């Protein structure tokens, strides 16, 4: 079974199950067990940070339930807490893995940019009072596109390869919101939040756009800006090859409430 899941991450210690902590994975697994009387392990397309959100998280699990997929989805939603929702269900190929079969993912970072903070966007965005220039951010973001060693935007203690391919980075303003979409073949822990810390320095005029390229080349985390908080981060799209799952190609509609989609047709 494959599901597309939305959640507000404010009340969760991230997606992945952790002993003694409430996580999105643990809530999903416990809810599935209540509905199907089966203990399952939920696989996900990615592990979101504590406090981060998703409107396009792809999960999969094995079940022998006789319920039709749409009926099972409704039953799960009737049992899940209000900050987690299954927006679609479908059968998946037996060997489908939502993480390893993904070809790319898109994260969106939302900044609420006005002098006075908003209670409506609290916990759903990062508030920055100084003006943020999205055009300057885009000039800096151009240095990130391509296959690079992104060690400057990874935690210092993170081992393994830091090489990733970023296909597109784009910032755009809509009223008081500045939204930045980053699409890549993979992400390291806190990578988007670290990138955003540097792009915001450019957007607020504290650094020139070329600094982004210098930080990238340094491969030194201390050269990058401070990571922005997780509350502004949304997993909005996961892409798969058309023949990976049953049904139509699994391109997730990035339907973040109150956050308009911009330019997705150019990324297909």
Catalytically annotated residues:
49
DSSP conformation letters of 212-261: HHHHHHHT-GGGSPPPPPGGGEEEEEEEE-TTSSSSS--PPP---TT---
**Among 267, 268, 178, 265, CA closest to 228:** 178
By DSSP bridging, strand 126-127 and strand 102-112 are parallel
Q: Residue 20: is it exposed, middle or buried by C-beta count within 10 angstroms (0-12/13-18/19+)? A: exposed
Q: What is the CA radius of gyration of the chain?
A: 19
Provide CB contacts within 8 A for 7, sequence distance 6+: 24, 53, 54, 57, 83, 84, 85
């Amino acid at each position: 079974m494959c599901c597309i899941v939305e959640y507000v991450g404010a009340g969760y210690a991230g997606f992945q199950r952790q002993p003694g902590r409430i996580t999105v994975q643990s809530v999903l697994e416990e809810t599935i067990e209540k509905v199907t009387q089966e203990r399952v392990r939920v696989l996900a397309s990615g592990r979101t940070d504590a406090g981060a959100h998703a409107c396009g998280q792809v999960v999969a699990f094995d079940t022998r339930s006789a319920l039709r997929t749409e009926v099972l989805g409704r039953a799960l939603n009737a049992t899940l807490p209000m900050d987690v929702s299954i927006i679609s269900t479908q059968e998946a190929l037996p060997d489908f893995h939502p993480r390893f079969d993904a070809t790319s993912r898109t994260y969106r970072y939302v900044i609420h940019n006005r002098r006075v903070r908003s209670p409506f966007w609290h916990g759903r965005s990062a508030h920055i009072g100084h003006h943020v220039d999205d055009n300057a951010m885009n000039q800096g973001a151009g240095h990130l596109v391509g296959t690079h060693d992104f060690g400057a935007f990874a935690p210092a203690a993170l081992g393994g390869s830091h090489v990733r391919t970023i296909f597109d980075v784009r910032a755009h303003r809509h009223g008081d919101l500045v939204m930045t979409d980053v699409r890549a073949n993979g992400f390291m822990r806190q990578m988007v939040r670290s990138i955003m810390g540097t792009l915001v320095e450019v957007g607020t005029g504290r650094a020139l756009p070329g600094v982004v390229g210098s930080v990238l080349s340094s491969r030194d985390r201390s050269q990058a800006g401070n990571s922005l908080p997780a509350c502004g981060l949304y997993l909005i799209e996961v892409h798969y090859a058309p023949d990976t799952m049953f049904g139509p190609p699994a391109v997730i509609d990035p339907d973040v409430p109150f956050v308009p989609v911009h330019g997705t047709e150019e990324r297909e």
